[in-house]
Structure 1
Amino acid sequence: MADWTLRGASVADAEPLAELRAVVMRPDLERLGRYDEDRVRRRFRDGFDAAHTWIIEVGGESAGCVALRPAEDAHWLEHFYLAPHLHGSGTGTAVLRYLLDRCDRDGTVVRLNVLRGSPARRLYERHGFATESEDPVDVFLVRHPAHGVTAADTVTP
């Protein structure tokens, strides 16, 4: 696994992250017949909130992003994109585990949605997410906080 860190996002990160989203999501969106070059970027820009987004850096370079947006009954894990050359490296797993450890300590439920057929679904299910509902395009997953998590069990970036 590559060494990684998180830093807070800024408004200036929006365009490079929109491009990353387009690259990462293209195969799944094409498989579903839903890829549109403009829409894939616009949807990111429309949902981007720097206040709840972190940039994943590997080797001092921007390599992805993740957002954890507070909502009334849960936090939504959103915009979790990692550069394709890092897929399968363990970096995404480590980042996810770090965020989930924080939510466990706070007793926070986490929700997300993933495209049907996306290999990312297996990652989320390995970390305790379960299907809450589905529609023709998305699968909505939920994870309740794990009990008994201590500071010694957590990962620090």
Structure 2
Amino acid sequence: MIEWNLRPAGSDDLEPLVEIRAAAMRPDLERLGRYDPHRVRQRFRDAYEPRHTRVIESSGTLVGCVSLRPDPDAHWLEHFYLSPAVHGAGIGTAVLRDLLARCDRDATRVRLNVLQGSPARRLYERVGFTLETQDPVDVFMLREPCPGRESDCAPSGTALRLSL
């Protein structure tokens, strides 16, 4: 497992994160016939809220970000992007499990949306997200909080382990 940490995002992080988002989203957007190099970057610039965003670093290098935005009935997990250079290293799973453990302690539901056909959906299902609704482009998922032992929260046949 590669070491990682989260830190608060700042205005100086915007453009590096824009590029990570563009690289991370490109394969799925191309598959759906929706990739536009300007739009993929501008949508992130327009939605960027540093106060809800954490930068993911590994070995002192910015490798991604994640936002957990409060909403009246749940937190929205948004802008969870990792540089393709660190895909498969376990960082995404570890970051997600850390954030979900915090939400479990606070008894907070978590919602997200993921693109249809995205491999990320399997990760979300492994950590307890279930389908709420979907359309031809997006899949909307929900995870109920699970206080207590982590193993009680895992879907059948899955054991959760926090890697901090």
Shift of 1:147: 2.5
Match of 2:82 in 1: 82
What residue ranges of structure 1 are gaps of 5+ in the alignment? none
Q: 3-state DSSP class of the match of 1:16?
A: helix
Match of 1:110 in 2: 110
What residue ranges of structure 2 are gaps of 5+ in the alignment? 151-159
Match of 1:128 in 2: 128
Q: CA RMSD in A?
A: 1.5
Structure-1 separation of matches of 2:121 and 2:162: 22
**Structure 1 moving runs of 4+ over 2 Å:** 153-157
Match of 2:141 in 1: 141
Normalized against structure 2, the TM-score is what?
A: 0.91
Counterpart amino acid of 1:36? D
Structure-2 separation of matches of 1:97 and 1:18: 24
Structure-1 separation of matches of 2:149 and 2:67: 22
Q: How does 1:6-155 map to 2 (within 5 A)?
A: 6-149=6-149, 155=162
Aligned length: 155
Q: 3-state DSSP class of the match of 2:51?
A: helix
Structure-2 separation of matches of 1:154 and 1:116: 27
* Contact 2:94-2:163 at 8 Å conserved across structures: no
Structure-2 separation of matches of 1:124 and 1:115: 12
Deviations 1:55-114 (A, max 9, x none): 000001101000000011100000001111211111100000000000000000000000
Normalized against structure 1, the TM-score is what?
A: 0.95
Q: 3-state DSSP class of the match of 1:146?
A: coil
Task: Give identity over the alignment, percent.
Answer: 63
Give the structure, 1 or 2, with the largest relative contact order (CA under 8 Å, sep 6 or more). 1
Structure-2 separation of matches of 1:98 and 1:67: 13
